[in-house]
């Protein structure tokens, strides 16, 4: 990855879980107002644990992994290829 953002290579599910971790960490930080590095690390772990629990529950309910070996561009290409293969062949007039 040279000029791409890491998020450009994440699926929607991965993005949502990541955003949950960030939001949870931010909210916990605002509530607890950490001052030391150790306190900041604790807040980060707690926020990450919330997202981890959500990921594990979603995987248990659906039987599907949230983290994918594919990236978003690969998923979009597969979906595009599938869509195009279902279209009838166009005949040039």
Buried b (16+ CB within 10 A) or exposed e, 20-53: bbeebbeebbeeeebeeeeeeeebbeebbebbee
pLDDT digits (tens, 9 = 90+) for 45-86: 999 999 999 999 999 999 999 988 766 666 667 777 777 776
Residue 7 confidence (pLDDT) above 90: no
- Residues with Cβ within 8 Å of residue 54, at least 6 apart in sequence: 17, 20
pLDDT tens per residue across span 28-50: 999 999 999 999 999 999 999 99
State yes or no: pLDDT of 1 exceeds 60.
no
Is residue 46 within 8 Å of residue 20, measured between CB atoms?
no
Closest alpha carbon to 68 in 26, 18, 12: 12
| Assessment of whether the complete model's pTM goes beyond 0.85 | no
Choice between 3 and 14, residue whose per-residue pLDDT is larger: 14
Report how far residue 18's alpha carbon sits from residue 14's, in angstroms, rounded to the nearest whole number.
6
pLDDT grade, residue 92 (50/70/90)?
A: very low
Could you give the CA distance from residue 93 to residue 90 in angstroms, rounded to a whole number? Answer: 9
């Amino acid at each position: 990855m040279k000029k791409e953002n890491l998020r450009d290579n994440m699926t929607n599910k991965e993005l949502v879980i990541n955003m949950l971790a960030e939001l949870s960490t931010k909210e916990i930080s605002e509530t607890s107002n950490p001052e030391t590095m150790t306190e900041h690390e604790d807040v980060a772990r707690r926020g990450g644990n919330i997202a981890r629990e959500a990921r594990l529950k979603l995987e248990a309910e659906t039987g599907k992994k949230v983290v994918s070996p594919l990236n978003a561009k690969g998923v979009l290409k597969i979906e595009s290829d599938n869509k195009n293969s279902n279209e009838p062949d166009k005949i040039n007039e």
